[in-house]
Chains A and B, each alone.
Chain A
């Protein structure tokens, strides 16, 4: 029995037909095929391979890559608790435990009757209203014990999701501070009309004058990217909006897509006008699948208004349309070349660069990949001119930045500031007190200690894609770093040796310390691993993976040192833990069934 209403589930042949039997649609087909039974049986993969005329092994390779695709049965109710550090700080572990006990299911397993499975997933982008979960892809925030009890009851009664209280699924925008972008009230098509009047060259010149830099964090000049793609050989150019907002602690794109989708799609169309592209994709992270119906509705409205399709706004030769491509739980797909692989229906493995996507991207066509916020900002530039935009912010960082603020503060949510704002000012505005540290830019970002709170949000000082997680004096920065290390180990694509093995080794060392088996030698090994990951990894995920450890080791070393039980060496092997299975089998838990290791004796 599927929890989805049967009318929305198309048989496999219909799904294949609707996607034109195109191998590039493989990921989309797998996502939709999974809706039939809630998982992907081996025979389904075989039928998809036959339908697309591709090797079955390739289908299995792709199905195995994405966290939200299952090759084993999962519960008819599939509960995924968001496991960002901010969810942990709000007590998600206890809530997960409670729900598991109420429904008689072990975490990570499916209940005997196939009713429910409960486990964790990487940050779902609801940090401002956590702890959060996804139930069959639909987001529920503001979890507490009462809500968990109610959810347990609804699942036990097998109530279809559509009949759950609608308030559960309400996702608030929580916009706390507006500036140029969020204050912009624009009739759809206005920016586009202005850019068309400027002509393709005039519009690109305006973009150049604006000094707009990519809001995904790297800060590459947007106009340079557009011009490169425009000048690249190849006719069929592509615009991609990267809405794979997977960086833990970031949720600004969720808000832009929820309430400012017209700005985002208009930005994509503006990019197409400058570059001469015909095809556009919005790569929407699987965690935001619940936004899909409303986004499709916006696209349909824009098509009927002549803002997408043939001869946009009557301009001969300006043809452009946008398709939405769903991700399925893979942070690495936020890396632009991995995102393009995923768009092509493949495993999200980052490519060797160069060639860069602007030269050879989607299906080897020149491809521009821009962040959601970057594209929305181009509307401002089209309407107000490049010079006006360049005049705001700082000299090297023009314009404003959306920050996703969460953690220990009175008013978490979205804050838009001109670039150059200090950390201290932000902390004051959001009502943070006794702040010990701020993690800016997500797990891959930078951890700032109190003595750095005069630093400023700007590409030349503290660059960020927008995550801003606050930790007060009561928090343990070692546990913060450990949570991020777990995240990277889970999200490594596994392509290159240093990241595939190194992130898991790092996780092992952090867990060893957490378990009370740490020694000084471990800190040296952690140090060495950090450097190798940074140096030798294939892409930004691997080279950023050690960042949280490097920063906290440097700035909060006592959080590590107080976990060391030995100054030289301590084995990771836990004799007592190794006996756990024997104890379970013999139903014993008395003192005689335990062994004590050196570390525990000292406690």
Chain B
């Protein structure tokens, strides 16, 4: 191998100048988890699932350009323990009832919960009050499951050119709103064909009609782990 390299858990990984730790790692067949990161968008750095230790410092792998000679720790008990904790935080701050969720089996949050062996919620549930919005003819919004990755916000704004979604509030009261004075999705120009309608990693933006078309047990992460799936996707792209 030629070019610049850094060490990921002791293994050399090549990278191009400007490439993030996460991108370089996945290209080389090493999985670093993420929820808010998407290959078609600039790094967001909010979910912190991709946290790694680079040269002794905690950084977001998605937002940190790789550097020659760096030693990066990722798949270690310490980092995976922190990731498990972050997942537990995401689970308790919303209302996630996997058994009754249409996204079960296709949900990245759930898949990561399995991947990082999350066995209990650990913390007190916040049980926030987040009413659903079923006003739109084609789409149901179930805000209970929102993890604030802002992928719908970014897709609608930067690709669809509509800015249907935005975050408002602050801290633990932060929440998703839609672009209408009534607060109803039906009163926006959202369409089921928008990129934003297909980008939610969890079960907030659901398409009406085809619910449970694929039976539980045959869904994305039922057969293979999210680690395997994401690395396979990377290879195919």
Contact = CB atoms under 8 A, between A and B. Distances in A.
Interface of A: 42-43, 45-46, 55-58, 60-67, 330, 347, 352, 489-498, 500-505, 508, 525, 528, 532, 535-538, 572
Interface stretch (B45-53, B68-76, B205-213, B224-232): B45-53
Nearest to B91: A501
Given A493-B170, A497-B90, A538-B46, 16 more contacts: A42-B181, A61-B167, A61-B177, A352-B60, A491-B171, A497-B147, A498-B48, A498-B89, A502-B89, A505-B123, A528-B85, A532-B86, A535-B58, A536-B48, A538-B60, A572-B124
B7 interface: no
B28 interface: no
Contacts, number: 121
Contact of B93 (A45, A62, A501): A501
Contacts of B233: none
Interface in B172-197: 172-174, 177-181
Interface residues of B, number: 41
30 contacts: A55-B157, A57-B164, A57-B177, A57-B178, A60-B166, A61-B177, A62-B168, A64-B177, A65-B169, A352-B43, A489-B172, A492-B170, A494-B148, A494-B172, A495-B46, A496-B45, A496-B46, A496-B47, A497-B46, A497-B47, A497-B86, A500-B148, A500-B174, A501-B172, A532-B86, A535-B82, A536-B86, A537-B48, A538-B45, A538-B48
Given A65-B169, A493-B170, A536-B82, A500 B93 contact: yes
B92 to A, nearest CB: 7
Interface of B: 43, 45-49, 51, 58, 60, 63, 82, 85-86, 89-90, 92-93, 123-124, 126, 147-148, 157, 162-174, 177-181
A528 B89 CA distance: 13
B52 to A, nearest CB: 10
Contacts of B178: 57
Contacts of B46: 495-497, 538
Q: Which of B60, B92, B174 has the most CB of A within 10 A?
A: B174
A572 B127 CA distance: 15
A16 to B, nearest CB: 17
A500 B126 CA distance: 12
B45 A60 contact: no
B166 A535 contact: no
Nearest to A502: B89
B48 A55 contact: no
A62 B63 CA distance: 24
Nearest to A62: B168
Contacts of A67: 170
